Amino acid sequence: MVAFVVEDLPNEINSIEGLAVWALSVLSNVHSISANVERQGDPPTLNATLAPFDIRAADSEWNYSVSQRAIGRISIPLAADYQTKKIWESALPLGLGDEPIPPQFL
């Protein structure tokens, strides 16, 4: 579990999108090799990943535009009774103990 207090959030975070990228950055850093099997027969999948990507798109004239996107995914275990409360209240830790937020994210 990566515990935090609101004061840990950088002052520059002023949107849910920024919060999501920050939180996923922290999780993917702290749990960089944590993985689980999400479907029988499949290889283990990392629990938290995030990376920047350049996305190229072409219009009908083959004029390209490039945009940057943070693309990530998370797989957080939920308590068995998750349907009886708010989903974030049911999130279970990815790790075994309390892991600190790395200094570069503070």
Half-sphere exposure of 66 (CA within 13 A, CB side): 3
The pTM (predicted TM-score) of the whole model is 0.83
Q: Report domain extents, the chain.
A: 6-105
User: Cα torsion at 16, 46, 49, 84 (round to 10°)?
Assistant: 0
- pLDDT value at residue 99: 87
Segment 16-43 mean pLDDT: 95
d(C-alpha 105, C-alpha 32), whole Å: 15
Residue 46, H or E segment: strand 45-46
Mean pLDDT of the chain: 93
Q: Over the stretch 13-23, which tens digit does the pLDDT of each residue have?
A: 999 999 999 99
Structure-token pair, residue 81 = 């009774």
Q: In this predicted structure, what is the pLDDT of residue 98?
A: 83
